[in-house]
């Protein structure tokens, strides 16, 4: 079994102690980080490598940025989502790995927030999702296990928010955003968490304001989407919610799966 985790770290240098403590506690094999908010040269790789991880980053100064940490060696690394050569935002990195049963692919992605809806940010979000769908459709032709792990900034269903009525004007809950997410599912991708747990109040993000964590006023926006070949190897999925209660936490928590690859 390989443990693959997605975590929006919300600033890797600000939360390096939490990250290192969590790596020791959780013992993931592959970690997809989002919002590292660091250029590649300033990513704190030394301490992470000391724990046995290979580190690949696609960074950007001050915001965005994604990374993959892996105990397995990378066969291949691809940075940036194809389809728009003018897009300079660092939101996508793909790693290819080998196992006894063959190659598998893991993507760390950070989908655009899209707010405010009435600005150019919302069309950018939808355009990015359309490019992701096209990329995913092309990768499916390889017939390999694929894990699309990250902060999608999409609340798929009303059950994925404590108070869905508070999100009706937000880009995360717009019909177009949710439809784009469903189009990934229509391609054949499986939402790992919902494939194993349909319980309400299953969240991955709690805002820093208004006592959201204490009131469990959360939303589920961090997802691991699995190709058919990956879904058939899914052993379990879980949300490591307790990390949100640590000192100086990210507003997101790690979401984990075990794959029999």
Checking DSSP bridges between strand 76-79 and strand 92-99, what pairing results, if any?
A: antiparallel
Distance between CA atoms of residues 115 and 125, nearest Å: 9
Is residue 124 part of the annotated active site? The answer reads no
Catalytic residue among 29, 53, 110, 152: 110
Catalytic residue among 151, 160, 170, 191: 151
Contacts of 224 (CB under 8 A, 6+ apart): 4, 6, 147, 148, 149, 191, 192, 193, 237, 255, 257
Exposure b/e, 24-58, CB count within 10 A at least 16 = b: eeeebbbbbbbbbbbebeebebeebeeeebbbbbb
Checking DSSP bridges between strand 76-79 and strand 205-206, what pairing results, if any?
A: unpaired
Is residue 151 part of the annotated active site? The answer reads yes
Report the 10 Å Cβ neighbour count for 176. 15
| Cα distances (Å, whole numbers) of residue 225 to 30, 32, 149, 181, 254 | 15, 13, 6, 10, 15
For 235, the 3-state DSSP assignment is: strand
Tell me if 9 sits within 8 A of 21, measured CB to CB. Answer: no
Question: Which residues are designated catalytic?
Answer: 110, 151
């Amino acid at each position: 079994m390989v443990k693959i985790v997605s975590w929006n770290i919300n600033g890797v240098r600000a939360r390096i102690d939490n990250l290192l403590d969590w790596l020791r506690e959780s013992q993931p094999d592959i970690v997809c980080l989002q919002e590292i908010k660091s250029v590649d040269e300033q990513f704190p790789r030394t301490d992470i490598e000391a724990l046995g991880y290979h580190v690949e980053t696609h960074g950007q100064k001050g915001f965005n940025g994604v990374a993959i940490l892996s105990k397995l060696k990378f066969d291949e690394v691809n940075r940036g989502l194809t389809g728009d050569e003018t897009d300079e935002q660092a939101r996508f990195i793909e790693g290819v790995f080998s196992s006894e049963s063959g190659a598998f692919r893991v993507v760390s992605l950070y989908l655009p927030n899209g707010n405010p809806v009435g600005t150019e940010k919302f069309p950018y979000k939808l355009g990015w999702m359309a490019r992701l769908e096209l990329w995913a459709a092309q990768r499916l032709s390889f017939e390999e296990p694929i894990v699309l792990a990250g902060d999608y900034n999409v609340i798929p269903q009303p059950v994925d928010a404590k108070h869905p009525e508070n999100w009706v004007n937000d880009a995360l809950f717009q019909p177009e955003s949710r439809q784009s997410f469903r189009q990934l599912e229509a391609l054949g991708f499986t939402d790992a968490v919902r494939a194993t747990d349909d319980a309400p109040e299953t969240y991955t993000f709690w805002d820093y304001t208004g006592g959201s964590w204490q009131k469990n006023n959360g939303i589920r926006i961090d997802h691991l989407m699995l190709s058919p070949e990956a879904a058939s190897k899914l052993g379990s999925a879980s949300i490591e919610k307790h990390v949100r209660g640590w000192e100086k936490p990210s507003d997101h928590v790690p979401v984990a799966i075990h794959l029999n690859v």
